[in-house]
Structure 1
Amino acid sequence: MAVNVPHATAAKAFRLRLASLGISPLEVIETASLGRGTTASVQSPPTVYEVLETAVAMSGDTTLAIKIGNGLDLAGYGTYGFALMSCSDMGAALELFLRYGHAFFPQPCSWHRSVSKDGIILRLQQNAGTIYQQMLVTELAFSQMNYANKLLVAKPAEGVRVSFSYPKPAHFGVYQKTWPFPMKFDQEYTEIFMPDRWLRQRVRTGDPTTNVLFSQQCEELVSGMTEADETTVLVRRLLIHSAGNFLNFSEIAEQLYVTERTLRRRLATEGTDFRTISDDIRNTLAQNYLRKTSLSIVEIADLLNFSEATNFHRAFQRWNSTTPADYRKRGSP
């Protein structure tokens, strides 16, 4: 069975944060499972709602969800975190979050965007859990988002404001210390408003070139969550991670601990071959470099391991029936 990499990465970051606060992740999960009853615990692991409620009860700390979110470093999310850190500005980071963040959040919890007159509204929707459990997940999500914002821009969240669908909690004082922006309670929705001027702020660690790679790695991870052809997914992932110095066929086989003949047979069974996969990866990266960076054609050719820019030019024209220069001018396929 294939491992759900995004979920596994998020779960690991969550467990490490619990441990850093002196709470045993294993004990919390076991206690949450026992509290569900024998039948439920066998059918599926405890949800994030149950885990959070159990952790709060065991610790006796009603602000625990906030503390967890305040220490979930972006780097702990691997490729997804590095993709966010390499975005050019907060608007780009938001787009990436909305596209890939669902893979790192519990499924009953989702963010929905709407455009207002002078900014963006993100609404948090939850279709599971009790009201109390939903409050804990909200505290975790908002704390994590605020912590990430501070890492990305290191500036006050000017113009940002938040509404909560639940009553003001007894530990409201912690909210004020943690989230330095206007808050309202007992509202129809739980949502956050981000003004356009905030979204235009530059990310301190922004790097368009590396962002292309990390974003494509995110795409590969998320696509692999539902991909049936497992060998193809693994080959694509290895190629993406070796971008700039692409692995060759024999090196891929070595990484997968199979012979070249076995790898060739498995790919054929899935209806593809190494050349097709490699060309698809390089074409995807080339398109993204042309759209999202100011790199020259020569620099892009070098990043894609073409010995000469003319070779890249011919390959790109074969893949897309247009030249790299014309593709860049149009800005889209």
Structure 2
Amino acid sequence: MKSVAGIHNPADDPRYTAVEIPPNVLLGLTLLADRDGVDCTPWFAGLPLDRSQIADPDARISYRQAAIVLRRALLAVGDPALGMRAGRDGNLGSFGLLGLAMMTSATFGDAMRVGIENHKVCGSLLDIGFDMPGPREAALVAWPRFGEHALLPFLCEELFASCLAVARELVGPALRPLRLELTYPRPAYVRQYMDFFQCELRFGAPANQIVMDARWLEVPLPGYNARTRQQALAICTRELPQGSSSDEVVMAVEQLLRSRLREHPRLPEVARSLNMSERSLRRRLAEGGRVFRDIHDQLRAERAMELLYAGHLSVAEVGAEIGFADPREFRRAFKRWTGMPPRDARRAA
């Protein structure tokens, strides 16, 4: 995604350069490169890490470093479906101790919750949540971080394919999602999606999510062991990034706003939802160097760019998706955020 002028720059966010992400995704790509006979050494040029370091279980990288390596990998391998290939290789073993905690959970729903709550242990480069989009439907939802939409197809393919591979390992190959929804346009290699996911595909959708029948959540797991599960979870909890309390509040605000952009929630509503006073919320955000309006505008601009890039909604419909009832107000706000009108942004995407 091209840089968005006039709003919060990801490089100004300390989480963008925080060295706290396990390099699991990058490690998987280097193994793919080995199989393809591709030299991955140049992927790390100019970065304070190399191929041998990311194989260290204690290694951590920043989101900025991961994004640089991913862009170089996609260019070097030359396979637009690289994310599908990386994701299909996923299994409980590649999830490490989190895979053990999921495998020894009582039900598939319990395992899914454990995975979502601890996804950062596996080096996820997307933010992940749970939703119930319809009656008797359960969904794993993903949001891009820092407006990184150029890498979104790879990241979604890697995430959803690996999660489905693990889910089938837990409950059996009969698991078929109801549908896979993605905000980006249909890729030329869509046949690979159809063969692996075996469900309805919706591109240019309002959200990135894989939806299944909620009855799967109740399926008991044969490997259930309460003691082993607790032991694995305790270690996972210790390995989670230990951000400041202000960072946690920023993340909570972002997650709440992302899920309710259409409703255009105001600061008082958000504070109530987080069981905080308005004053406390403003103070905690300030501790993280953030302002509520800037966060809201940043998320709305990123979401608008994501939907404009997908190209399936009109400008007015994109505005409605992020809380603007009047298309003219959306156009003015978007130009204030980015320095260009929505139609120009769509052509430039």
TM-score (norm 1): 0.56
Counterpart contact for 1:49–1:136, Cα < 8 Å:
no
Does residue 189 (structure 1) correspond to residue 207 (structure 2)? The answer is yes
Quick one: which of 119, 122, 126 aligns to 2:144?
126
Counterpart contact for 1:88–1:202, Cα < 8 Å:
yes
Counterpart-to-counterpart distance in 1, 2:76 and 2:46: 9
Quick one: which of 50, 58, 76 aligns to 1:58?
76
Counterpart-to-counterpart distance in 2, 1:46 and 1:128: 10
Which residue is equivalent to 2:42?
Answer: 27
Does residue 82 (structure 1) correspond to residue 100 (structure 2)? The answer is yes
Which residue is equivalent to 1:113?
Answer: 130
- For 2:150, what is the secondary structure of its paired residue? helix
Counterpart contact for 2:26–2:69, Cα < 8 Å:
no
Which residue is equivalent to 2:115?
Answer: 97
Percent of counterpart pairs with the same letter?
17
- Structure 1 residue 67: deviation in Å? 0.5
Which residue is equivalent to 1:72?
Answer: 90
- Structure 1 residue 88: deviation in Å? 2.2
The one-letter amino acid of 1:26's match is T
Counterpart-to-counterpart distance in 1, 2:105 and 2:37: 33
The one-letter amino acid of 2:180's match is V
Residues 144-168 of structure 1: per-residue CA shift (max 9 Å, x gap): 1111112212222235311111111
- For 2:146, what is the secondary structure of its paired residue? coil
Which residue is equivalent to 1:213?
Answer: 231
Counterpart-to-counterpart distance in 2, 1:175 and 1:32: 33
Q: Which has the higher contact order (CA 8 A, sep 6+)?
A: 2
Counterpart contact for 1:164–1:184, Cα < 8 Å:
yes
Which residue is equivalent to 1:39?
Answer: none
TM-score (norm 2): 0.53
Residues 212-255 of structure 1: per-residue CA shift (max 9 Å, x gap): 211122122227x459xxxxxxxxxxxxxxxxxxxxxxxxxxxx
Structure whose alpha-carbon radius of gyration is higher? 1
- After TM superposition, the structure 1 stretch with the greater mean CA deviation from structure 2, 54-63 or 10-19, is 10-19
The one-letter amino acid of 2:217's match is L
Which residue is equivalent to 1:330?
Answer: none
- Structure 1 residue 141: deviation in Å? 0.9
- Structure 1 residue 9: deviation in Å? 5.7
The count of residues paired between Structure 1 and Structure 2 equals 214
The one-letter amino acid of 2:107's match is D
- For 2:184, what is the secondary structure of its paired residue? coil
Change (3 A) 1:185 1:134: same
Counterpart-to-counterpart distance in 2, 1:218 and 1:44: 19
- For 1:113, what is the secondary structure of its paired residue? strand
Change (3 A) 1:185 1:63: same
Counterpart contact for 1:32–1:51, Cα < 8 Å:
no
Counterpart contact for 1:118–1:196, Cα < 8 Å:
yes
Counterpart contact for 2:33–2:40, Cα < 8 Å:
yes
Does residue 157 (structure 1) correspond to residue 175 (structure 2)? The answer is yes
Change (3 A) 1:32 1:167: farther
Change (3 A) 1:58 1:15: closer
* Consecutive unaligned residues in structure 1, runs of 5 or more: 34-42, 228-333
* Consecutive unaligned residues in structure 2, runs of 5 or more: 1-18, 49-60, 245-349
